[in-house]
Amino acid sequence: MPTAKTADTDIFKRRESEARSYCRSFPTVFTKASGSLMTDEAGRDYIDFLAGCSSLNYGHNDPDMKAALIDHIAADGIAHGLDMYTTQKAAFLNAFERLILKPRGMDYKVMMTGPTGTNAVEAAIKLARKVTGRRNIVAFTNAFHGMTMGSLALTGNSGKREGAGGGSLADVTHMPFENAMDDKDTLEYIEWVLENPSSGMDDPAAFIVEPVQGEGGLNAASKEWLQGIQRLARKHGALFIIDDIQAGIGRTGTYFSTEEFGLDPDMITQAKSFSGMGLPFAALLIKPQHDIWKPAEHNGTFRGNTHAFVTARVALEKFWADDAFQKEVQRKSAILRQRLEQIAALLPGATLKGRGMMRGIDVGSGDLAGRICATCFDNGLIIETSGAHDEVVKVLAALTIPDEIFTKGLDILQDAVRACAGSNQIAAE
């Protein structure tokens, strides 16, 4: 049933900017979604292995969040309150403190930045500079931190950087991520640069790192490497910032992606699945001693998002009140790893990437990866690529995905890989 072909996409072509992107990979018009299924106007269902790029860790339209949000709206609950005190913000903060911070022995202030990830990142680097009086930020190869000028300077991708049109992306040093180069440890190199007073690298205000590089190819840093980066940061008077926007909030199996790594970051960014329901919502967690902002020194009209306070609170209460969800995610992660190993075995040279429910297969070429994803879509699976060369087929299923749908999606992926492998003698080059 050639749904996509009949979808009326004229209005988008006529009126939406050429910057639009995912719609090009999934050329149909979606109209509703529930759990791990999206439905288009022709009534066709698609299994969602993209999950809003990890913004829908709890699936689409979780019924409890829906209900709470509908109740809130129906009762004339605040929709937009700037950053005034609201009942809903209080409830969210109380839940965050009780269910997330306290059980983990964490003491952070929550900064309601603008409701996008890039805004949380911008706030983090501005604050790191204020706290340290230094300007240089260390970011990593293949990093993705956002598209506004401050975050874009941290981002590695040259295609994204060219979007700056030549605007200055200064005050950042890019260092090699773990194993960036053929499994060589990069900590030693980074340490050498930091400790050589003639390296040309100015003293850093902060290191900012994604524990798993979502856009950069599902590169997962090890506990030891992240501890090493934190140690170098401490030793050199720099702050240590975890950008947990894509890897956090359960995606790797724990609320924060590095909970089991024994780290103590100075700041942690939150966005994507932070609202629970995919609403725009972001925050920066700040160690109290670094919370030296003056009132409104970083502000924004949509700081906080009262609808998101409501759904985010429900998400915390529903999924993080005990360890059941976490265990379930870990169970599914094991399934995912096992199935991806089987699938990767179909492609000579293909390798597994990622961690937890944030895994994929490096198939060796962006062209092949693209063909696999297109084949999946034809067969009812929404899935995307990642990596510097788009060479990684990335599985970002909802953490709540039912086993049967998960299996069905992985079957579609396996079939697509098998089909494309046949026409692709050499997977990796």
In whole angstroms, the minimum distance from the beta carbon of 163 to its own copies comes to 4
Of residues 5, 200, 422, 429, which one binds its own copies by CB under 8 A?
A: 200
Residues recorded for the chain: 429
Eight-state DSSP code of residue 60: B
What is the phi-psi region of residue 315: left when phi exceeds 0, alpha when psi lies from -120 to 50, beta otherwise? alpha
In whole angstroms, the minimum distance from the beta carbon of 241 to its own copies comes to 13
Which is closer to its own copies, CB of 295 or CB of 422?
295
Is 363 an interacting residue with respect to its own copies (CB under 8 A)?
no
Eight-state DSSP code of residue 40: E
Other beta carbons within 10 Å of 425: 7
Is 115 an interacting residue with respect to its own copies (CB under 8 A)?
yes
Which is closer to its own copies, CB of 172 or CB of 421?
172
Say how far apart CA 382 and CA 378 lie, in whole Å: 9
Which is closer to its own copies, CB of 130 or CB of 418?
130
Of residues 104, 192, 345, 407, which one binds its own copies by CB under 8 A?
A: 192
Of residues 47, 99, 112, 229, which one binds its own copies by CB under 8 A?
A: 112
Contact (CB, 8 A) for 274 and 281: yes
In whole angstroms, the minimum distance from the beta carbon of 50 to its own copies comes to 7
DSSP 181-197: TTT---HHHHHHHHH-T
Site track 366-385 with its own copies (rule: CB under 8 A), x = hit: --------------------
Which is closer to its own copies, CB of 181 or CB of 426?
181
Place of tokens 């299996």: 407
Question: What does the block give as tokens for 87?
Answer: 């009942």
Is 165 an interacting residue with respect to its own copies (CB under 8 A)?
yes
Which is closer to its own copies, CB of 181 or CB of 321?
181
Contact (CB, 8 A) for 123 and 298: yes
Contact (CB, 8 A) for 9 and 27: yes
Is 89 an interacting residue with respect to its own copies (CB under 8 A)?
yes
**Within 13 A of 90's CA, how many CA atoms are on the CB side?**
5
In whole angstroms, the minimum distance from the beta carbon of 375 to its own copies comes to 18
In whole angstroms, the minimum distance from the beta carbon of 264 to its own copies comes to 18
Say how far apart CA 387 and CA 158 lie, in whole Å: 12
Find the binding residues for its own copies in span 7-26 (CB under 8 A).
7-9, 11-12, 14-24, 26
Is 185 an interacting residue with respect to its own copies (CB under 8 A)?
no
Say how far apart CA 298 and CA 313 lie, in whole Å: 24
Say how far apart CA 81 and CA 72 lie, in whole Å: 14
Which is closer to its own copies, CB of 95 or CB of 412?
95
Say how far apart CA 92 and CA 318 lie, in whole Å: 13
Return the range that interacts with its own copies (CB under 8 A); candidates 226-234, 249-257, 274-282, 326-334.
274-282
Which is closer to its own copies, CB of 164 or CB of 352?
164
Strand partners, 139: 174
Of residues 36, 49, 146, 243, which one binds its own copies by CB under 8 A?
A: 146
Find the binding residues for its own copies in span 27-86 (CB under 8 A).
27-34, 38, 41, 50, 52-53, 55-56, 60-61, 66, 69-70, 73-86
Contact (CB, 8 A) for 402 and 35: yes
Is 6 an interacting residue with respect to its own copies (CB under 8 A)?
no
Task: Give the dihedral sign, CA 303/309/312/316.
Answer: positive
Return the closest-CA partner of residue 175 out of 166, 188, 161, 163. 188
Is 96 an interacting residue with respect to its own copies (CB under 8 A)?
yes
For its own copies (CB under 8 A), the number of binding residues is 156
In whole angstroms, the minimum distance from the beta carbon of 226 to its own copies comes to 19
Q: Give whole-number Cα distances, 321 to 98, 103, 140, 165, 260, in Å.
A: 9, 10, 34, 47, 18
Is 402 an interacting residue with respect to its own copies (CB under 8 A)?
no
Strand partners, 286: 109, 267
Of residues 45, 185, 203, 367, which one binds its own copies by CB under 8 A?
A: 203
Which is closer to its own copies, CB of 20 or CB of 231?
20
Find the binding residues for its own copies in span 288-307 (CB under 8 A).
291-302, 305, 307
